[in-house]
């Protein structure tokens, strides 16, 4: 761990042990809103569903011709992953078709972990102070907190991994313990709009502890995890992120934190805990992409009809009138504004929170499409104020948002001058 301490010193950070919390990350200089405190590539990661193993893209995909399990979007990604996948591919091809279908992302994450360790031990791929297996060994497994049925599940998964790899130097008990570490420490990798893309293990980022009033936020740029300051973080302060949805009641948050010990919750997953009840349909149907159809059987997109009076799904043909879409925009905006206000209830977001920024972003898009340009400018401005801190001004998503805001402003000025 000496190498890690020295590497963190270069980032103006230090690891200390805090009673009752274990290892914790502290700053050794001031950090300011939007500044990256630390970023890390995944030690191992896998996409969920049908995505490129290299970049998590969903277009132009082709299966690995040999194992028929892994997908790539092109030769560059295939080459970048080849050292790892070569050994994984050999192991997977030994399985019959039925067992191959049992290889879930969690199983693949474990396979890649052991393969990466082997390649680093054999000096085929390099190790660094922030990229080595010792950091994985140092992670807490919380085995004593796990229920018996969960332990049985880990043992079954470990047995499958052992069967696939057929390496005598690893044992089932060791694999099961690492599955427990995954549950406590792995993160859901999300895109800029907090839609889940995959799962990754970031051993240094995992040192950071939870707070319901965090001073930092974890976001992803591709497969890189970045922790950004949400506020001024003075020298000597512990870096804290939220593991759970902070807008829930105290009871909800306590329950989620307890569950966190046996399964990591990401911001993308925690969206499902937000304000159950009257806004449930609005959130499910409109979150992040307010013009998506999102019926039970369709995931198409809504486009304005030629007469401008309604929106029609381009996949299933469902027509939603303009007033319905306008009501969705209004309710999302009310939700955003209420969530950011101090109140007697516990359901409050901090002033700077990525979900709050994304709700304003959704409102702005809907208002613009509905022709309410002035309101769109106000909503998009609020979105920019938040997301430039949580996501960074140089990310493609925020650059696109800034362009959208400028276009909306130009349109609003044109409408104003036309009236005059």
DSSP of 90-103: HHHHTS-HHHHTT-
pLDDT tens for 99-110 read 887 789 999 999
Q: Sign of the C-alpha dihedral, residues 226, 7, 26, 12?
A: negative
197, 205 Cβ separation under 8 angstroms: no
What would the DSSP string read from start to end of 49-87? SS-BTTT---SS-EE-TTTSS-EESSHHHHHHHHHHHHH
Query: CA-CA distance, 301 to 318, in Å (whole number)?
Result: 10
Reported pTM: 0.77
Q: Sign of the C-alpha dihedral, residues 91, 92, 94, 98?
A: positive
Q: Residue 211 has which token pair?
A: 């707070």
pLDDT band at 97 (very low <50, low <70, confident <90, very high): confident
Average per-residue pLDDT for the chain? 82
Distance, first Cα to last Cα, the chain: 68
277: left (phi over 0), alpha (psi -120 to 50) or beta: left
- Decide which of 330 and 157 is more confident: 157
Residues 369-379: what's their mean pLDDT?
91
232, 32 Cβ separation under 8 angstroms: yes
Between the alpha carbon of residue 152 and those of residues 82, 173, 176, 261, the distances in Å are 33, 11, 9, 17
Domains recognised in the chain with CATH numbers: 43-187 (no CATH), 279-337 (no CATH), 354-418 (1.25.40.10)
What is the structure's pLDDT at 212? Answer: 82
Residues 72-91: what's their mean pLDDT?
95
């Amino acid at each position: 761990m000496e190498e890690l301490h020295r590497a963190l010193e270069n980032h103006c950070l230090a690891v200390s042990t805090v009673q009752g919390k274990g290892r914790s990350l502290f700053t050794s200089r001031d950090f300011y809103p939007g500044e990256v405190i630390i970023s890390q590539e995944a030690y191992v990661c896998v996409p969920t569903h049908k995505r490129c193993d290299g970049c998590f893209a969903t277009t132009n995909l082709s299966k690995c011709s040999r194992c028929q399990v892994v997908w790539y979007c092109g030769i560059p990604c295939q080459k970048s992953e080849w050292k790892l996948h070569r050994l994984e591919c050999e192991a997977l091809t030994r399985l019959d078709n039925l067992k191959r279908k049992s290889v879930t992302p969690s199983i693949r994450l474990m396979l890649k972990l052991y393969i990466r360790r082997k390649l680093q031990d054999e000096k085929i791929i390099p190790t660094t102070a922030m990229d080595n297996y010792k950091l994985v060994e140092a992670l807490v497994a919380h085995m004593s907190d796990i229920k018996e049925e969960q332990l049985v599940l880990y043992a079954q998964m470990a047995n499958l991994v052992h069967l696939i790899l057929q390496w005598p130097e690893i044992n089932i008990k060791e694999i099961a313990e690492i599955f427990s570490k995954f549950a406590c420490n792995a993160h859901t990798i999300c895109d800029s709009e907090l839609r889940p893309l995959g799962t990754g293990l970031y051993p240094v980022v995992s040192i950071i502890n939870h707070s319901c009033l965090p001073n930092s936020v974890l976001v992803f740029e591709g497969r890189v995890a970045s922790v950004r300051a949400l506020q001024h973080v003075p020298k000597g302060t512990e870096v804290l992120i939220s593991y759970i949805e902070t807008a829930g009641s105290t009871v909800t948050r306590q329950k989620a934190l307890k569950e966190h010990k046996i399964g990591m919750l990401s911001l993308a997953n925690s969206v499902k805990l937000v304000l159950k009840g009257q806004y449930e349909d609005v959130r499910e149907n409109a979150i992040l992409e307010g013009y998506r159809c999102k019926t039970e059987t369709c995931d198409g997109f809504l486009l304005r009809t030629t007469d401008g009076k309604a929106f029609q799904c381009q996949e299933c043909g469902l027509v939603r009138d303009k007033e319905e879409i306008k009501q969705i925009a209004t309710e999302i905006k009310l939700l955003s504004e209420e969530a950011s206000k101090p109140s007697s209830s516990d359901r409050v977001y901090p002033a700077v929170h990525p979900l709050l920024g994304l709700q304003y972003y959704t409102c702005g898009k809907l208002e613009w499409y509905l022709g309410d340009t002035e309101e769109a400018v106000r909503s998009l401005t609020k979105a920019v104020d938040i997301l430039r801190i949580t996501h960074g001004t140089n990310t493609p998503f925020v650059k696109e948002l800034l362009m959208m805001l400028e276009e909306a402003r130009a349109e609003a000025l044109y409408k104003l001058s036309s009236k005059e």
